[in-house]
């Protein structure tokens, strides 16, 4: 099957076209695909629920808000920033201990970086395990080694050495996998020790993990059992916790705006339409699957 084709239209005229590759995995086998299921890319922020596994296994004092913000790519809303601070407090750390940079377009404080919750969680893991907090972003640090092992466990790899790595936008290790293997990792995630707390937290607190217009938040809010997490460069991973069907979708051009429309069609769920507004707040266009009847 060809990739899903998502169009951006203004007053009925097509302004842009996005091609989205998608794959679904259940019981270790591909059950549906569109485009190239072997397309390989970095998981980026879609990794965050997996990166949270060592944290939830090490600490039984985490609230659902703590876990959700550790999985978040937040928009720096007051509630999200408060959750970051609460997790930092649990880690007995301050903003100065966060080893990530400032984010362009946001206030010049590390906690405003959209990955600050994940980093606060990594510091909380250090505190629980008695590991040094300094250098926790480095590949050889026990935190990153634990995250690598969690990815190998979820993706059913022989070991972390089987996973190509790069440096993520926030400075920690990111892992490259084919889409099929990403879908497998998300399909496996709910079955792993401690992951029930991650599933429950994401279902309970989607307001903390991103923006209300994000495909991941929309999938959680408008379904009964899906959890999802978007990643940079047009990636989206999800799992239906009822039957552990894992999904991975990737926009070829790295855009995030086609993901909600593509996911709605591929997964088979009803999501609000993706609309385009001008600076006056007026609806001027839409993002939707290509009309094949034209």
* Span 30-59, average pLDDT: 98
**Residues 243, 258 contacting (CB under 8 angstroms):** no
- Beta-carbon contacts of 20 under 8 Å, excluding residues fewer than 6 positions away, are 3, 4, 5, 6, 34, 35, 234, 249, 250, 251, 252, 258, 259, 262
> What CATH architecture does domain 4-289 belong to?
3-Layer(aba) Sandwich (3.40)
Residue 202 pLDDT > 90 = yes
What is the per-residue pLDDT across 105-142, written as a single tens digit (0 to 9) for each?
A: 999 999 999 999 999 999 999 999 999 999 999 999 99
Residue 294 pLDDT > 90 = no
Q: Report how far residue 98's alpha carbon sits from residue 133's, in angstroms, rounded to the nearest whole number.
A: 9
* Span 21-47, average pLDDT: 98
Phi–psi pair at 288, nearest 5 degrees: -155, 165
Bridge partners of 18, per DSSP, are: 6
Q: Report how far residue 99's alpha carbon sits from residue 111's, in angstroms, rounded to the nearest whole number.
A: 11
DSSP state letters, 156-225: T-S-GGGS-EEE-TTSSEEEEEEHHHHHHHHHHGGGSTTHHHHHHHHHH-HHHHS-TTSHHHHHHHTSSS
Residue 210 pLDDT > 60 = yes
Per-residue model confidence (pLDDT) at position 247: 98
Residue 291 pLDDT > 90 = no
Per-residue model confidence (pLDDT) at position 1: 82
Domain spans of the chain, in order of start: 4-289
How much of the chain exceeds pLDDT 90, in percent? 96
Residue 292 pLDDT grade (very low, low, confident, very high; cuts 50, 70, 90): low
Q: Report how far residue 259's alpha carbon sits from residue 290's, in angstroms, rounded to the nearest whole number.
A: 13
Residue 220 pLDDT > 80 = yes
CB-side exposure of 16: number of CA atoms within 13 Å? 13
Name the DSSP class of 35: S
Name the DSSP class of 46: G
- Its sign, for the CA torsion 110, 111, 116, 120, is positive
How do 4-10 and 283-289 pair as beta strands?
A: antiparallel
Mean pLDDT, rounded, of the chain = 97
Per-residue model confidence (pLDDT) at position 293: 53
Residue 66 pLDDT grade (very low, low, confident, very high; cuts 50, 70, 90): very high
* Span 20-47, average pLDDT: 98
Per-residue model confidence (pLDDT) at position 215: 98
* Span 89-115, average pLDDT: 97
Residue 67 pLDDT grade (very low, low, confident, very high; cuts 50, 70, 90): very high
Helices (H), the chain: 48-51, 53-58, 64-70, 78-90, 116-129, 142-154, 179-188, 195-204, 206-209, 215-221, 259-263
Rounded to two decimals, the pTM is 0.96
How much of the chain exceeds pLDDT 70, in percent? 99
Per-residue model confidence (pLDDT) at position 130: 98
**Residues 111, 75 contacting (CB under 8 angstroms):** no
Residue 225 pLDDT > 90 = yes
Six token digits for residue 18: 């996005």
């Amino acid at each position: 099957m060809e990739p899903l084709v998502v169009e951006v239209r203004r007053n009925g005229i097509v302004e842009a076209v996005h091609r989205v590759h998608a794959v679904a995995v259940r019981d270790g086998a591909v059950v549906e695909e569109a485009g190239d299921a072997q397309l390989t890319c970095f998981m980026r922020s879609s990794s965050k629920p997996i990166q949270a596994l060592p944290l939830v296994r090490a600490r039984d004092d985490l609230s659902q808000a703590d876990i959700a913000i550790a999985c978040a790519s937040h928009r720096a809303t007051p509630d999200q920033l408060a959750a970051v601070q609460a997790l930092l407090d649990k880690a007995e750390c301050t903003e100065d201990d966060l080893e990530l940079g400032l984010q362009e377009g946001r206030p010049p404080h590390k906690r405003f970086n959209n990955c600050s919750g994940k980093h606060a969680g990594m510091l909380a893991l250090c505190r629980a395990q008695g590991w040094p907090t300094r250098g926790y972003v480095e590949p050889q640090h026990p935190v990153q080694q634990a995250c690598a092992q969690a990815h190998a466990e979820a993706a059913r790899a022989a070991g972390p050495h089987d996973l190509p790595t790069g440096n993520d936008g926030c400075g920690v290790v990111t892992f490259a996998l084919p889409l099929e293997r990403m879908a497998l990792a998300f399909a496996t995630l709910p079955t792993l020790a401690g992951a029930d707390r991650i599933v429950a937290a994401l279902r309970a607190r989607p307001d903390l993990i991103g923006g209300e217009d994000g495909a991941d938040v929309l999938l959680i809010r408008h379904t009964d059992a899906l959890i999802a997490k978007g990643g940079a460069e047009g990636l989206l991973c999800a799992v239906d916790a009822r039957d552990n069907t894992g999904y991975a979708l990737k926009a070829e051009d790295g855009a995030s705006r086609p993901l909600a429309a593509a996911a709605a069609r591929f997964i088979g769920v009803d999501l609000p339409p993706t609309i385009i507004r001008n600076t006056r707040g007026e609806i001027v266009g839409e993002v939707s699957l290509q009309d094949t009847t034209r």
